[in-house]
């Protein structure tokens, strides 16, 4: 009969519900008349107990899942806040480190000024042209700061090049490795003189050194002071190869520049003396 009244899939739930209702009715009745529970009440209690335990367990499970969900939501928000804080601190650390490194580089330029006892001004590199033909950089100072074409440009490592044109606030510097660059040079050890010409990606070539001169790999190449552009004794580079096999009066000398041109960020410009202005 139960199968006729209720579909098969709802029979278990229906029976359990009826047992719970009967249990509550009997419990309510016995509360008014305390005493030993009857057989039927005992039977209902036995039948309803597992179902009540299951319902209670389900409610506790749902409550636990909800609490874990709330906890995970809070944890996720906390993680996002921590990530934002880490990003902020990382950016600050990068900025502090960048300022520290810039301070070290500027300190080197100050030491350069004290070493050579020459009037200098420091400028920042704001542009580079490293095509196969031209090797130049732009710096953020120009005629308004007293810069003009022909002034020598240095880094803490050595000679960078010379200014070839200036506007009010920007100047273009011809690098020592440009093919159009020619600097009067001298070998520190032998005192042999020549012209250091730019060789592009190959570095530089020291030209017009006679074959009879004894030049060694590792010799330092300095500015000779001739030509009236670069003061005497500035480091240009180091001899990396010497070739006397070719016929002719002069030997071929390859020079590695002292300056890492791809890493330039600040440079020092040697300013003209008062009497030269």
pLDDT digits (tens, 9 = 90+) for 86-145: 888 787 777 777 676 666 666 666 666 667 678 888 899 999 887 767 889 999 999 999
**Residue 136 structure tokens:** 């130049």
Domains of the chain: 2-62 (no CATH), 119-277 (2.40.10.350)
Mention every residue, 6+ apart, whose C-beta is less than 8 A from residue 234: 116, 152, 154, 158, 159, 222, 223
**Cα Rg of the chain (Å, integer):** 44
Share of residues in the chain with pLDDT > 70 (%)? 67
What DSSP state is assigned to residue 33? S
Q: Which residue ranges in the chain fall short of pLDDT 70?
A: 1-61, 63-64, 98, 100-114, 116, 132, 246, 273-277
Q: Indicate the pairing of strand 120-130 with strand 135-139.
A: antiparallel
pTM over 0.75: no
In 3-state terms, what secondary structure has residue 146?
A: coil
3-class secondary-structure state, position 126: strand
């Amino acid at each position: 009969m139960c199968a006729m009244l209720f579909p098969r899939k709802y029979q278990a739930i229906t029976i359990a519900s009826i047992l719970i209702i009967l249990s509550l009715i009997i419990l309510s009745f016995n509360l008014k008349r305390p005493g030993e529970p009857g057989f039927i009440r005992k039977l209902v209690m036995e039948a309803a107990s597992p179902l009540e335990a299951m319902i209670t367990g389900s409610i506790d499970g749902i409550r636990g899942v909800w609490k874990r969900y709330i906890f995970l939501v809070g944890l996720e928000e906390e993680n996002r806040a921590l990530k934002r804080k880490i990003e902020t601190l990382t950016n600050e650390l990068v900025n502090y480190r960048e300022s520290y490194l810039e301070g070290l580089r500027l300190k080197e330029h100050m030491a350069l000024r004290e070493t050579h006892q020459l009037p200098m001004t420091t400028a920042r590199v704001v542009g580079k042209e490293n095509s196969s033909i031209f090797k130049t950089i732009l710096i953020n100072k120009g005629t308004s700061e007293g810069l003009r074409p022909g002034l020598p440009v240095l880094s803490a490592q050595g000679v960078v090049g010379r200014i070839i044109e200036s506007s009010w606030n920007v100047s273009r510097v011809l690098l020592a490795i440009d093919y159009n660059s020619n600097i009067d040079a001298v070998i520190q050890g032998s005192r042999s003189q020549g012209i250091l010409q730019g060789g592009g990606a190959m570095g530089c070539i020291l030209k017009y050194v006679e074959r009879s001169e004894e030049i060694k790999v590792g010799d330092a190449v300095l500015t000779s002071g001739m030509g009236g552009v670069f003061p005497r004794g500035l480091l240009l580079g180091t001899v990396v190869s010497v070739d006397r096999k070719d016929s002719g009066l002069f030997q071929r000398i390859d020079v590695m520049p002292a300056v890492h041109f791809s890493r330039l960020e600040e440079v020092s410009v040697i300013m003209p003396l008062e009497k030269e202005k």
